[in-house]
């Protein structure tokens, strides 16, 4: 009678039955990364134990500082003492700060030891959304052309050279930044320092690689004046 009643019970797959009885998922349903850590029999205990010595639980969404927490509202200046207080220092626009960050990255990609005016120019073009970047693209001064002129002028770096994480500014690069700050102060405009100011600062360094590259690609004093007029005025917002 017992045998007859057992024979009528519905059949269940072993894996499904075990998972239902013990509240665990069968091996076939475990993620691939966890199959290696499935239970093994220990010879001296005769029972099943799980070896997890090499298994470390990590958050799938590790905590990272947001970009806004690391970005500064001011870029390096050679003469910080000229400002009476921090509040008097003009703020850089977020596009200009991003362009500067891209310039450092581009200097590293080219394996240059410093961030020069040529890298600042590349940073403006890589950021790409500012008035300065759009003005350059409109006048045929593209990222590819500037890269080519940079390598033609400065040459390729040693492939085995590893530049610092944040390549320091060259003297001409620092002067270009300071020129942009002074230009904003002299204008009487209380707005932010933009990528247009930075580009004009690069152009002001006549002997710098950035100026020479711009000149080789058709930029001129007339174009600099046109860009300045387009980006002047308190109502101008370039981000």
Give 102-153 pLDDT, tens digit per residue: 999 999 999 999 999 999 999 999 999 999 999 999 999 999 999 999 999 9
Given this model, what pLDDT does residue 221 score?
98
- Model pTM greater than 0.85? no
For residues 233 and 191, give the distance between their C-alpha atoms in angstroms, rounded to a whole number.
9
For residue 193, the SS3 value is: strand
For 36-92, write each residue's pLDDT tens digit.
Answer: 444 444 444 444 444 444 434 343 444 433 333 333 456 777 666 666 566 667 789
Query: How many Cα neighbours within 13 Å face the side chain of 111?
Result: 9
In 3D space, the residue among 93, 79, 78, 85 whose CA is nearest the CA of residue 184 turns out to be: 93
Q: Give the mean pLDDT of 182-189.
A: 85
Are the beta carbons of 195 and 238 closer than 8 angstroms? yes
> Phi and psi for 217 in degrees, rounded to 5?
-100, 10
Cα angle for residues 98, 103, 106 (degrees, 5° grid): 125
Token pair, residue 78, equals 């050679």
Given this model, what pLDDT does residue 86 score?
63
Given this model, what pLDDT does residue 186 score?
87
Predicted confidence (pLDDT) at residue 156 exceeds the cutoff of 50: yes
Q: Give the mean pLDDT of 203-225.
A: 98
Strand partners, 193: 92
Q: Give the mean pLDDT of 8-22.
A: 47
For residues 77 and 137, give the distance between their C-alpha atoms in angstroms, rounded to a whole number.
28
Cα–chain center distance at 167:
15
Architecture label for domain 91-232: Orthogonal Bundle (1.10)
């Amino acid at each position: 009678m017992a045998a007859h009643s057992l024979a009528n019970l519905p059949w269940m797959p072993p894996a499904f039955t075990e998972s239902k009885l013990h509240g665990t998922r069968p091996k076939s349903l475990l993620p691939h990364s966890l199959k290696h850590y499935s239970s093994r029999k220990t010879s001296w205990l005769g029972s099943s134990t799980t070896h997890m010595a090499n298994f470390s639980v990590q958050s799938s969404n590790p905590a990272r500082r947001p970009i806004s927490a690391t970005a500064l509202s001011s870029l390096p200046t050679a003469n910080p003492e000229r400002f009476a207080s921090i509040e008097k220092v003009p703020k850089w626009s977020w596009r200009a700060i991003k362009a500067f960050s891209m310039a450092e990255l581009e200097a590293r990609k080219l394996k240059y030891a410093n961030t020069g005016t040529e890298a600042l120019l590349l940073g403006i073009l890589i950021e790409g959304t500012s008035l300065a970047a759009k003005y350059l693209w409109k006048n045929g001064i593209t990222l590819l052309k500037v890269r080519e002129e940079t390598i033609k002028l400065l040459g390729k770096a040693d492939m085995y050279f590893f530049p610092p994480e944040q390549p320091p500014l060259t003297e001409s690069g620092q002067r270009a930044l300071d020129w942009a700050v002074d230009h904003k102060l002299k204008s009487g405009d209380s707005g932010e320092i933009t990528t247009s100011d930075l580009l004009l600062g690069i152009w002001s360094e006549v002997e710098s690689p950035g100026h020479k590259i711009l000149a080789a690609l058709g930029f001129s004093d007339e174009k600099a004046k046109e860009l300045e007029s387009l980006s002047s005025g308190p109502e101008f917002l370039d981000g």
